[in-house]
Structure 1
Amino acid sequence: CSRDRGKAVRLLLQAPWVGITRDAAVARAADNQLSGTISHIARGADQCEVLMALPDGQTLCATIPTADAATLKEGDDVIAWFNADRVIIATLC
């Protein structure tokens, strides 16, 4: 595989590696932050799956502890955060 300039890549993140917060100070502690709006929350006993709509129309999924999602609701503007060592970069050769 070569590293051709202009080649399309995909960034992959596993949902448990993504945090969701409304607190910009919390998000700033991570390497990467993405702003968006919560589009759906599936609440479980221990974990919640949070879907976040990004400004470009893509959807980001995070799995966070139920306690962390207690004050979140659909339509909230939030910040997703994650560290660089959690990003998988994929491309077709």
Structure 2
Amino acid sequence: MSALKIKTGDTVKVIAGKDKDKEGKVLKVDVKNHKVLVEGINMVVKHAKPSAANQQGGIVNKEAFIDASNVMLLHNGKATRVGFKMDGDKKVRVAKATGEVIDK
């Protein structure tokens, strides 16, 4: 499997699914299953039992993972594909739309 082009902390735009055209920050990346957890995207309802951490229990709204292929990285406010390039001896991400280096 190729390297995942989305990292934790990136701002992404959803390009497919029920939350299409919404934007959010990546909270977690699951490289093995090729999925990302995005803030405020793919909200699901969970029924939680009362526990020590959650005394009340009840219905909880939380984010669920979304496939990484359904999001695009936002660079300078514009959705772009991501490529890789060698910058000296360091591998860096590059925005395909502009050719700019994303992470220094």
The structure having more radius of gyration, on CA atoms, is 2
Normalising by structure 2, what TM-score? Answer: 0.27
Q: How high is the TM-score relative to the length of structure 1?
A: 0.29
